[in-house]
């Protein structure tokens, strides 16, 4: 028994050359000691049996009486020899590469890094790194670290801060929707370029360059009443007796505890109950409460049949009369998208379609199939092709390059004007080309 302070121990680690105290029921103080001891025992057993110390296989006899018996077989010797040679090659390669890169990373006085020119090396290090006194193109002097210069994280004294390719682009004179850019108006808090624009209604709003080029802002806000009126009309179309029908067929909320719409989980006196209910025009109707979720789902469906179905059927599209009539719902014909079946006209099928301009029109089925009707009539005066997807003549979408391409026809030849990720820029290229080739002035 040995006493070490307040702890009385009777065991020491069984591994050789380890005198640590074992503070648990095992023989070794740590797993590394157990591994080392077992490896040493296996090594001694193989040595006594005349086997290879590494793999435990038979040993090759020496070629002569003067040659000493090796500790491993020929197979293990070849393996370790090749491994040593490969490691030696990698070491030489890495050291030679480090020397070359070290030479490249040396900074000389007068060397240029973007807008900075290195003048002299400072005697003291900054953050344990070389520091250089540099001169910017704006004639200001600044201190830069070696890593900042080599990696390009510092390009100037700070005079270029906030100048990004998006807002450094000159947009003066260009038109985006109803807005025409007049002049630069500084920059926003997050560094975006601001431009003062002239709207066709006479207002002069200030808009950032990103919103203009992406098409998010095309007016000063004068079109909001028209958009609100369109939304109200659309809402009235989907309403029956003051009930907005799309709200009745909404999906289940993500935070629902039951996973089903209109079924609530209640706990009373330690038991779980499911309570189905439904709300119509501000009134709530309850179904039969049960302990089974399946029964609550059936009760909820009964409530939907009783209270929701009359409103849903009122705006549901008319069913297609027979299998002989082709279902065209969801199919696009030029600028028209078929919404629903609208009945018959002179014993011919009539389909209700929505045009890309927002108008709703009823078109005969054979006119859609024969491509006689491709829009509500808005393309006749605009002179656009019926398969135009940009809404502007001479601007098309390139699927392969994922860009908007602008072109114009002059004397029977098609002239490529350029491409852009933003539709507004492609439209501007087309407008400038119309002034140049067709002598058209902006309306």
| Residue pLDDT, tens place only, 49-62 | 878 877 777 777 77
Integer-rounded Cα radius of gyration of the chain? 41
Work out the widest C-alpha separation in the chain, in whole angstroms.
116
Which residues touch 8 (CB under 8 Å, ≥6 apart)? 1, 2
Residue pLDDT, tens place only, 254-267: 888 888 888 988 88
Does residue 63 or residue 245 have the better pLDDT? 245
User: What is the predicted pLDDT for the residue at 299?
Assistant: 92
pLDDT confidence band for 205 (50 / 70 / 90): very high
> Which segment, 56-65, 147-156, 370-379, is predicted with the most confidence on average?
147-156
Q: Residue 138, Cα to own-chain centre: how many angstroms? A: 39
Residue pLDDT, tens place only, 412-438: 788 888 888 888 888 888 888 888 887
DSSP string, 259-307: SSTTEEEEEETTEEEEEEEEEETTEEEE---BS-HHHHHHHHHHHIIII
Q: What is the mean pLDDT of residues 316-335?
A: 75
User: What is the predicted pLDDT for the residue at 320?
Assistant: 66
Dist. CA 48–CA 307, nearest whole Å: 93
Q: What is the mean pLDDT of residues 217-225?
A: 86
Q: Residue 343, Cα to own-chain centre: how many angstroms? A: 44
Does residue 96 or residue 130 have the better pLDDT? 130
Dist. CA 325–CA 320, nearest whole Å: 7
DSSP string, 102-129: HHHT---TT-EETTEEEEEE-SS-BTTB
Please state, as a whole number, how many other Cβ atoms lie within 10 Å of the Cβ of residue 338.
20
Rounded-to-5 percentages of helix, strand, coil across the chain = 30, 30, 40
What mean pLDDT, rounded, does the chain reach?
79
0.75 surpassed by pTM:
no
Which residues touch 382 (CB under 8 Å, ≥6 apart)? 393
Q: What is the mean pLDDT of residues 106-120?
A: 90
User: What is the predicted pLDDT for the residue at 384?
Assistant: 61
**Whether the Cβ atoms of residue 342 and residue 352 lie closer than 8 Å to each other:** yes
Q: What angle do CA 404, 409, 415 make, to 5 degrees?
A: 60
pLDDT confidence band for 64 (50 / 70 / 90): low
pLDDT confidence band for 118 (50 / 70 / 90): very high
Dist. CA 262–CA 133, nearest whole Å: 71
Give the whole-number percent of the chain exceeding pLDDT 90: 11
Q: How many CA atoms, within 13 angstroms, populate the side-chain half-sphere of residue 135?
A: 6
Bridge-partner residues for 294, per DSSP?
Answer: none
Residue pLDDT, tens place only, 177-198: 889 999 988 888 777 788 999 9
Residue pLDDT, tens place only, 11-49: 778 777 777 777 666 777 777 787 777 878 888 888 788
Q: What strands, in cross-sheet order, belong to the sheet with 112-113?
A: 112-113, 116-121, 131-136, 141-145
- The SS3 call for residue 51 is strand
- Whether 93 shows a pLDDT value over 70: the answer reads no
If one looks up domain 389-443 in CATH, what number appears? 3.30.730.10
- The SS3 call for residue 362 is strand
Q: Where are the domains of the chain?
A: 11-58, 112-151, 165-225, 238-315, 389-443
Give the whole-number percent of the chain exceeding pLDDT 70: 84
């Amino acid at each position: 028994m040995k006493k070490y302070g307040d702890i009385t121990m009777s065991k020491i680690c069984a591994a050789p050359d380890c005198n640590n105290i074992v503070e648990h029921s095992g023989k070794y103080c740590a797993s590394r000691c157990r591994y080392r001891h077992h490896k040493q025992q296996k090594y001694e057993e193989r040595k006594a049996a005349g086997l290879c110390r590494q793999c435990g296989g038979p040993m090759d006899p020496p070629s002569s009486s003067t040659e000493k018996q090796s500790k491993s077989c020929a197979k293990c010797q070849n393996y370790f020899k090749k491994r040593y040679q490969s490691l030696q090659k990698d070491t030489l390669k890495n050291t030679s590469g480090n020397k070359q890169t070290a030479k490249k990373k040396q900074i000389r006085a007068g060397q240029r890094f973007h807008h900075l020119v290195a003048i002299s090396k400072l005697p003291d290090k900054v953050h344990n790194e070389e520091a250089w006194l540099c001169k910017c193109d704006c004639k200001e002097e600044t201190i830069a670290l070696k890593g900042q210069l080599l990696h390009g994280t510092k390009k100037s004294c700070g005079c270029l801060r906030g100048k990004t390719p998006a807002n450094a682009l000159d947009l003066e004179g260009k038109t985006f929707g109803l807005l025409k850019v007049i002049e630069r108006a500084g920059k926003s808090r997050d560094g975006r370029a601001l431009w003062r624009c002239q709207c066709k209604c006479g207002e002069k709003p200030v808009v950032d360059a990103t919103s203009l080029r992406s098409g998010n802002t095309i007016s000063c806000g004068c079109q909001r009443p028209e958009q609100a009126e369109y939304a109200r009309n659309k809402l009235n179309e989907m309403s029956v007796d003051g009930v907005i029908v799309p709200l009745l067929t909404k999906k289940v909320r993500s935070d629902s505890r039951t996973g089903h719409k209109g079924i609530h989980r209640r706990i009373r006196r330690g038991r779980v109950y499911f309570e189905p209910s439904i709300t119509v025009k501000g009134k709530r109707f309850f179904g039969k409460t049960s302990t089974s979720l399946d029964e609550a789902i059936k009760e909820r469906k009964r409530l939907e049949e009783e209270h929701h179905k009359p409103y849903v059927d009122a705006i549901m599209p008319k069913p297609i009369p027979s299998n002989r009539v082709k279902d065209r719902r969801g199919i696009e014909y030029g600028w028209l998208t078929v919404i629903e079946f609208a009945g018959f006209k002179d014993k011919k099928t009539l389909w209700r379609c929505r045009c890309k301009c927002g108008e709703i029109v009823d078109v005969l089925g054979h006119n859609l199939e024969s491509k006689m009707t491709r829009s509500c009539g808005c393309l006749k005066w605009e002179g656009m092709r019926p398969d135009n997807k940009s809404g502007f003549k001479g601007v098309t979408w390139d699927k392969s390059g994922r860009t908007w391409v602008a072109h114009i026809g002059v004397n029977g030849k098609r002239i490529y004007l350029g491409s852009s990720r933003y539709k507004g820029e492609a439209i501007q290229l087309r407008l400038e080309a119309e002034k140049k080739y067709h002598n058209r002035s902006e309306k």
